[in-house]
Amino acid sequence: MMKKISLFAVASLLLAGLWRDTDGNLVSAHAGCVTVDKDTGKFWLFGEYKVEGHTEGGGVSVYSSSDLATWESHGLALAPVPGHGYISPENIIQRPKVVYSKISNEYRMWWHADNTTYGLLLQGFAPSPNISGSYTFVSATAPLGNWSQDFGMFTDYKDGRSYALYSNGDGRDGRDAYLTAYDDTSALESIVHRFGKYDLEAPAIVQTDSSYYALMSHKTGYRPNNVVAFRADSPGPWPQPFTVAPPNTRTFSSQSGSVLRIAGSRATTNLYLGDQWDASSLWESRLQLQWHDVYDLDVQTGEWAAMAGTERRAADARKTTSGGAGGGGEAAAGIRGNDSTVTFQGVRGAGQKKGPQPQSVSDAPGGAPDRIGGAWQLRRIASVVRDTHKGVVLSAPLLLALDEGDANTITVGGLYNGFDYKGADLEKIVVYPPETGICKGRRCWTVIG
């Protein structure tokens, strides 16, 4: 999720791009949450710290932001301890959540604590007097005697009570998900509801003025699926589930993670934060929100609006023929390496960086633009945005520096991905205007779609 925003003003958010902090490093905060500082109103992002070669046991990273776009790293809120029974570099430290306790006047972190074989299935607990940490390990326990795998947390904004949400593993008997109430976020008190035998995971809750929506993912490993929701008038009982995203988009190639409620002066906006997992490079898996290529968000008023871009259709672009690239009706097909390309001429720029978003057509599940050797190859850039009878439409962001005026040229080819040089069929690009103000010249995007 790449986002542009002006400090305490309007944000322009671009989804599914590589997300970097103020030091230019890739943000590594997977399957986590955003917690609001009770004193300053600043947003704090917590998540699993994953780097290439060490995708588990890296601890919990923490970042802060005043605008949900410009994120400053504060290192590790919970650091691994060599030789520790539950938070060593060899342990599983997944899906961290942080909540404030009014009674103890401290912040409390909970997470899925496990070993590498997922044989423990516990919930870890660590408090801190400061939201930034560091957090001190206290315990790893079985919640009311149950197993606990994917972990979520929810605080009711009306009465302030917090709840743990968790699935109970992948074994034959691990097919339930639980909603369990805390006493004061230091220990679980009672099971409020058991989602029996649905075989779901990755739970989160959205609360509106009149309803509660429990979001959960099917168990398909790191492959995305169609997230479902249960609606209720209170935190249970819950009726049958329904899908929350357009059919066959696999929730825009994401898995449910958590929800951030922004209660602004004019509107309340609930932001869905989900993970785009890539099993071949977990350290580059990304967060994603409700799908619009780019949209504006005012974190003070809570209002948002989708941004409009300029479409350029591949059917009208110049295509090479030596390698086979040509028109395929609505899309250009046969893109391969540097020999078979699609070129868009006369692209208007503003003399600043833009992030184009290509939208390509594929018939592959999970956002894979091609099939090689009989196996689908996942791509860690594209997101499924809609499904048609001609194939799945994928969207991927790019950040380009375009010259001012309409003399810019964008050429799309195929890069080697470890299997082949073939590219997906290309339908169009969408070029969005760069943002002015505090973001000018730093993180200004156009989207090719």
Q: Give the mean pLDDT of the chain.
A: 76
Greater model confidence, 94 or 7 = 94
Q: Which amino acid is at 19?
A: W
Answer whether residue 82 shows pLDDT above 50.
Answer: yes
Backbone angles phi, psi at 250, to 5 degrees: 50, 45
pLDDT recorded at residue 219: 86
CB atoms within 10 A of CB 106: 16
49-53, 83-87, 247-251, 328-332: least confidently modelled range: 328-332
The neighbour count for residue 233, using CB atoms within 10 Å, is 9
Write down the pLDDT at residue 352: 64
What is the gyration radius of the CA atoms in the chain, in angstroms?
22
Give the CB-side neighbour count of residue 188, counting CA atoms within 13 A.
Answer: 26
Residue written as tokens 């906006």? 269
Pairing of strands 391-395, 400-401: unpaired
Per-residue confidence (pLDDT) for residue 9, from 0 to 100: 28
- pLDDT for 375: 38
Q: What are phi and psi of 219, to 5 degrees?
A: -95, 95
Express each pLDDT in 112-123 by its tens digit: 999 999 999 999
Per CATH, the homologous superfamily of domain 310-431 is Galactose-binding domain-like (2.60.120.260)
Which of 268, 250, 414 minimizes the C-alpha distance to 335?
Answer: 414
Residues 144 and 110: their CA atoms lie apart, in Å, by 15
**pLDDT over 90, % of the chain:** 31
Q: pLDDT value at position 417? A: 64
Residue 265 DSSP one-character state: S
- CATH code, 2-306: 2.115.10.20
The confidence score (pLDDT) of residue 161 equals 92
User: What integer is the mean pLDDT of 320-344?
Assistant: 64
Q: How many residues does the chain have?
A: 449
- What average pLDDT does the segment 249-253 reach? 77
Domain extent listing, the chain: 2-306, 310-431
Average pLDDT score over residue span 263-268? 88
Which among 7-16, 110-119, 211-220 has the top mean pLDDT?
110-119
Region 97-119 average pLDDT: 94
Amino acid 79 reads A
What percentage of the chain's residues is helix, strand, coil (to nearest 5)? 5, 45, 50
pLDDT of residue 420: 72
Identify whether 237 is preceded by a cis peptide bond (ω within 30 of 0): yes
What is the average pLDDT across 339-361?
Answer: 68
437, two tokens: 């103000």
Q: Characterize the bridge pairing of strands 371-372 and 357-362.
A: unpaired
**68: pLDDT confidence band, cut at 50, 70 and 90?**
confident
- For residues 404 and 321, the model is more confident at 404
Between the alpha carbon of residue 425 and those of residues 106, 131, 320, 345, the distances in Å are 52, 46, 14, 19
Q: Report which of residues 67 and 88 the model is more confident about.
A: 88
Mean pLDDT of 126-141: 96
pLDDT at 338 over 90: no
For residue 381, what pLDDT band results from cuts at 50, 70 and 90?
Answer: very low
**CA atoms in the 13 A half-sphere facing the CB of 61:** 23
How large is the average pLDDT for residues 186-203? 88
424 against 201, higher pLDDT: 201
Structure tokens of 371? Answer: 């099939």
Mean pLDDT, to the nearest integer, of 382-390?
A: 52
The candidate with the shortest Cα–Cα distance to 179, out of 148, 217, 210, 208, is 148
